[in-house]
Structure 1
Amino acid sequence: MTPPPVSRRRVRGDGVDLAVYEQGDRSRPTVLLVHGYPDTHAVWDEVAGRLAERFHVVRYDVRGAGASSRPFGRKRYTFDYLMADMAAVLDATAPERKVHLVGHDWGSIQAWEAACTMPDRFASFTSMSGPCLDHVAHWMRRNLARPTPANLRRAAGQGARSWYIYFFQTPLLPELLWRAGMAKPFTKALELGEGVPSRAGHPARTMARDAAAGVALYRANMLQRLRRPRDRRTDVPTQVIVPTKDLFVSPHLVGGLAGRVPNLSLRPIAAGHWVPRSHPDVVARWITEHITGVRGGPLSATESRALDRARVAGDRRTFEGSLVVVTGAGSGIGRETALAFAEQGAEVVAADLDLATAQRTAELAGLVGPPGHAFRVDVSDPAAMEDFAKSVMHEHGVPDVVVNNAGIGMAGAFLDHTAEDWQKVLDVNLWGVVHGSRLFAKQMVERGQGGHIVNTASAAAFTPSRTLPAYATSKAAVLMLTECLRAELNGKGIGVSAICPGIVNTNITRTSRFVGQGQDEEARSRRRAARAYARRNYGPERVAEQIVTAVRTDRAVVPVTPEARLSYLASRAAPGVMRLLAKLDVG
């Protein structure tokens, strides 16, 4: 759709003329977008065009940038002047009503100052890639006051990201470099480093002059606030979009923010610093959801769940507001995994070939968390998985976590395995994971908010055995598939983990095939295996705990049981020993 037209006017700020741009119906709620350094209002073009369909959108070139005046001297770039400018824009475009404030980079730094000093002017606030300077100073002091390795690492990391701030304190040199042509390499770096190509309006043709003037923002405000921070707090409902790949602002800076912003939501996104340009659809959608939630407007189930998950509160469980899909959820590791996520606040979709057991898992999940949902699905059937993935998305939304857990066991000598045996094992153990990963990863990528995929492999994936050729092969393939997916999806903010249990007491031993044996002998083999696994007494709930932890910490490969960890280590350190052990006949 063609975005609504943009109108421009001049507004008199504190001793400067400000170029103000408006889009959308003025009778609708007003959204004020404030740009950063060295941008102009045009950095918001894509986001503003999307928001203007539903809101009255206001932007302006801050003093020193674009078509606004460029006052001389750093004293005219202090927060007092910046706040007076913003108040003048508010008075001119949205008199006598609260607006929804959005800031990026230095625009967000200004917006924090506004939200803390004149909160009565704002109905909501969305910040991205620009923290409150006072909060940063307090955060740095807290980390240095407790000089643990982690705290020192975080403080040093942000110090390194802030290299340009120190450079901007040097006299004349930054201005000379900008005017000498630094805009061209900056534009190229933006494209190569952030994936943000130049287009009409951004970077602006006035960038050299804008950047040279805007250095005064850093000189007038940065060191003063960092040396003598104030106690800045706000009750304005605040949403912080946290680009996890930001080269200039550490994601750790949100630590402790809830103590100063009681109505706080956090929205992490796998993106760089210029997220309004690289992910305008996501940014516009999150701004809209935040505003709609604050206004008490209607939200879809997916939007409501997303807001719940983003909310920061002392009683919030880790996966509250998340949607988690678990296949093979009717029993064993699958059921315990569904329950573990439900206990952490997740809404669970339990899928299994046996609908009755899936329904029971969903019922149990509803006792410890949000109501669960049951589906019958054959993971080996590509058409059935297509229908399942579409049904989940349409009925409940795009999942945040998918656990491809469904699997079957099969033992026996290689020459006793028929082609049909191989087909059955690979269809369930490997193709089931392929289908689940492919279909749900596509949904996660299109949504643009990240997610996590867990694939249940096995210690057999790295433990060669003369009695498990088909099973071990299928699980080794799952492990490699997981590693490949992790590499590909990392840039999309989607984590992928392989869980490798060892001997776990589940009913897989009672349903496994023992090929090459008669019916009676196979039944005896099943009973022996079940007794051995029962004596091992390692419950599936312990595997489920490791799965939840793997998602929370984004671990790549997780050998679960002690024997699995030992085998994984031996497979990497002494593969020859593993080959010798594989030759033993333990039957």
Structure 2
Amino acid sequence: MEAVKRRRVRGDGVDLAVHEQGDPANPTVLLVHGYPDTHAVWDEVAGRLAARFHVVRYDVRGAGASSRPFGAKHYAFEHLMADMRAVLDAVAPGRAVHLVGHDWGSIQGWEAACTMPDRFASFTSISGPCLDHVGHWTRRSFGRPTPRGLRRAAAQGMRSWYIYFFQTPLLPEALWRAGIARAFTRALEVGEGIPARDGHPARTLPRDGAAGVGLYRANMARRLRRPLDRRTDVPTQVIVPTRDLFVSPHLVGGLAEQVPNLSLRTVRAGHWVPRSHPDVVARWIAEHAAGTAGGPLTAAQARSLRRARVAGDRRPFDGSLVVVTGAGGGIGRATALAFAERGAEIVAADLDLAAAQRTADLAGRAGPAGHAVRVDVADARAMEHFAKSVLHDHGVPDVVVNNAGIGMAGPFLDHTADDWRQVLDVNLWGVVHGSRLFAAQMIERGQGGHLVNVASAAAFTPSRTLPAYATSKAAVLMLSECLRAELKGAGIGVSAICPGIVDSGITGRARFVGRDEAGQADGRDRATRAYALRGFAPEGVAERIVAAVRDDRAVVPVAAEAHAARLLARVSPGAMRLFARLDLR
């Protein structure tokens, strides 16, 4: 960790404790803390940035080792902005810096980016909206009320209970000095999983909490009642923790009208995300700074920035990386193309490299360049190498579609042990390998993701003619439900797709056990004609897969027969058992 240099800077009638790390010749990142924190809330983030940036933090007035003026009027925006200007003049004279704010530091950051934009190369806002934007957002919610708008406004009002409490005289200060700081420390640990460490929460927390109440009294009511027109051309990145108990994600609504150069990123985290997810926060700050400076970017960084960018021509999956197995044809190819048309970069994997390359070429015509890889999903080592190569060459995928599968039909007693092994290795173990390897990458990255496991309506439709195939797909469905429960906390969605009779080409490669070659060919021909007669194309499944990722759906039956079979399996299992006796070969 880079050594921390400390100095005092004279602000607007106060002395500010300033902390610096890294080479002052590097671009400067100014990290501004919120309430009731000190500069130390940024320790982990600052340590990760100091090798590439000149990192500056300071205790704002009323906090830490800085002066604590008495009276709410001394915490108004004009004094906060004068303090920030003094720090900028001292640490980066004549240079535009990368501003980052959390909580009240972000609220200050919005004021700074809107009133002195020439001082900043970029701005990153975390869990602290512009008060004027909130005022206008609230007016829109009540000015043209809709049920959704009113619900969102009411929900934010409930999240903001502490703001009303801080307007009461004397009581908040008395509680802080009486020992509420211990409860605050415990709430951080229990509510957000953030254990106390040296520096955070600060030993000065009782005094900081009492003094910082002035921030709310001096600024909140005035700006929310009479919001100003606040706009900025500073490239702005808003990081939205989706589990924030205090700031609703809906407050970013309409923000692009005020900030034309806007990027949005979501992270499944609570309010104190600089402490809980410092790797993610530091990486996004560095990417945003590099993107605004026009410096060299890796392919993964460029894709990440595209994904975050808010623009009128942005497609739903712009900047996303999507891996599809079994992408050489059928549902796999249609799915790859559906995501490509929506802006995703595709890695098309298949046992048939030529077919995968064809899919990649088609995807490249619809979206970013596609990539083809030959892989046998049944081979654990091959899948490990595949996952590593995707990570090395393209980064962590945002969506993985475990689609590769094979068909097999015939009586149970005609299935050999090798037949069972072949079906389970591809249909089940292929999904296990893909889910295990790529979910680990998603968790390590800390930004969530989505796994799509293609099962079948056979998962809930027993049949005497599909014992191995139906068993493998039922296992995929149950695996998906288990994974969804486990990975939810990491922000990773899991969807099981259960198509019915789809003209995907699987019947042309299926095996009909217990038959000679002529019988095999006849079985494939009959099945292919039946599936073609049904007339449900792979593109229909692909659209359901995209929707499942977008809406984070758990189980998605596709086609009328799949919906009917799932309903019948629930309401009348006995009828399904009678149906299972039919010889459908």
TM class, shorter-length = over 0.9
Shift of 1:423: 0.6
Moved more, 306-315 or 8-17: 8-17
Moved more, 36-45 or 527-536: 527-536
Alignment partners' CA distance in 1, 2:220 and 2:519 = 78
Give, as a single letter, the amino acid of the residue that structure 2 aligns with 1:381.
D
Alignment partners' CA distance in 1, 2:178 and 2:564 = 60
Match of 1:440 in 2: 438
Moved more, 487-496 or 207-216: 487-496
Give, as a single letter, the amino acid of the residue that structure 1 aligns with 2:260.
P
Match of 1:134 in 2: 132
Q: 1:353 aligns with which of 348, 351, 354?
A: 351
> After superposition, where does 1:300-379 map in structure 2 within 5 Å?
300-379=298-377
Match of 1:209 in 2: 207
Match of 2:270 in 1: 272
Deviations along 1:308-352, one digit per CA (max 9) or x if unpaired, are 111111001111111111000000000000001110111111111
> After superposition, where does 1:257-296 map in structure 2 within 5 Å?
257-296=255-294
Give, as a single letter, the amino acid of the residue that structure 1 aligns with 2:387.
A
- SS of 2:520's equivalent? helix
Shift of 1:95: 1.2
Alignment partners' CA distance in 2, 1:582 and 1:33 = 64
Alignment partners' CA distance in 1, 2:364 and 2:522 = 38
Shift of 1:135: 1.1
Match of 2:418 in 1: 420
Match of 1:54 in 2: 52
Match of 2:11 in 1: 13
Shift of 1:541: 0.4
Q: 1:491 aligns with which of 489, 492, 495?
A: 489
- SS of 2:301's equivalent? helix
> After superposition, where does 1:477-556 map in structure 2 within 5 Å?
477-556=475-554
Q: 1:200 aligns with which of 191, 198, 203?
A: 198
Identical aligned residues as a percent? 78
Shift of 1:4: 1.5
Match of 1:299 in 2: 297
Match of 1:566 in 2: 564
Shift of 1:151: 2.3
Shift of 1:267: 1.4
In structure 2, stretches of 5+ residues that fail to align are none
Match of 2:175 in 1: 177
Give, as a single letter, the amino acid of the residue that structure 1 aligns with 2:527.
A
Alignment partners' CA distance in 1, 2:73 and 2:574 = 71
Alignment partners' CA distance in 2, 1:400 and 1:122 = 31
Alignment partners' CA distance in 1, 2:549 and 2:150 = 26
Alignment partners' CA distance in 1, 2:327 and 2:293 = 38
Deviations along 1:410-450, one digit per CA (max 9) or x if unpaired, are 11222221111111110000000000111111111112222
Alignment partners' CA distance in 2, 1:569 and 1:368 = 37
- SS of 2:118's equivalent? helix
Deviations along 1:364-385, one digit per CA (max 9) or x if unpaired, are 1111111111111110011111
- SS of 1:268's equivalent? strand
Shift of 1:235: 0.2
Shift of 1:40: 0.4
Q: 1:474 aligns with which of 453, 468, 472?
A: 472
Give, as a single letter, the amino acid of the residue that structure 2 aligns with 1:474.
S
Alignment partners' CA distance in 2, 1:54 and 1:396 = 23
> After superposition, where does 1:28-39 map in structure 2 within 5 Å?
28-39=26-37
Q: 1:390 aligns with which of 388, 391, 396?
A: 388
In structure 1, stretches of 5+ residues that fail to align are none
Moved more, 139-148 or 221-230: 139-148
Match of 1:222 in 2: 220
Deviations along 1:95-128, one digit per CA (max 9) or x if unpaired, are 1111110000010001001001110111100110
Alignment partners' CA distance in 2, 1:577 and 1:187 = 58
Give, as a single letter, the amino acid of the residue that structure 1 aligns with 2:99.
L
Alignment partners' CA distance in 1, 2:80 and 2:571 = 61
Alignment partners' CA distance in 2, 1:568 and 1:306 = 39
Give, as a single letter, the amino acid of the residue that structure 1 aligns with 2:480.
T
Q: 1:89 aligns with which of 78, 87, 90?
A: 87
Give, as a single letter, the amino acid of the residue that structure 2 aligns with 1:536.
R
Alignment partners' CA distance in 1, 2:204 and 2:506 = 67
Give, as a single letter, the amino acid of the residue that structure 1 aligns with 2:268.
A
Alignment partners' CA distance in 2, 1:316 and 1:434 = 33
Alignment partners' CA distance in 2, 1:119 and 1:34 = 16
Large movers: runs of 4+ above 4 Å: none
- SS of 1:209's equivalent? helix
In the superposition, relative to structure 1, how do residues 159 and 569 fare at CA in structure 2: closer, same or farther (>3 Å)? farther
Deviations along 1:23-75, one digit per CA (max 9) or x if unpaired, are 11112211111000110011011111121111111111111111111111111
Q: 1:190 aligns with which of 181, 188, 191?
A: 188
Match of 1:115 in 2: 113
Alignment partners' CA distance in 1, 2:574 and 2:216 = 60
Match of 1:251 in 2: 249
Match of 1:557 in 2: 555
TM-score, normalisation: structure 2: 0.98
Moved more, 135-144 or 470-479: 135-144
Give, as a single letter, the amino acid of the residue that structure 2 aligns with 1:441.
A
Give, as a single letter, the amino acid of the residue that structure 1 aligns with 2:239.
I
- SS of 2:94's equivalent? coil
TM-score, normalisation: structure 1: 0.98
- SS of 2:101's equivalent? strand
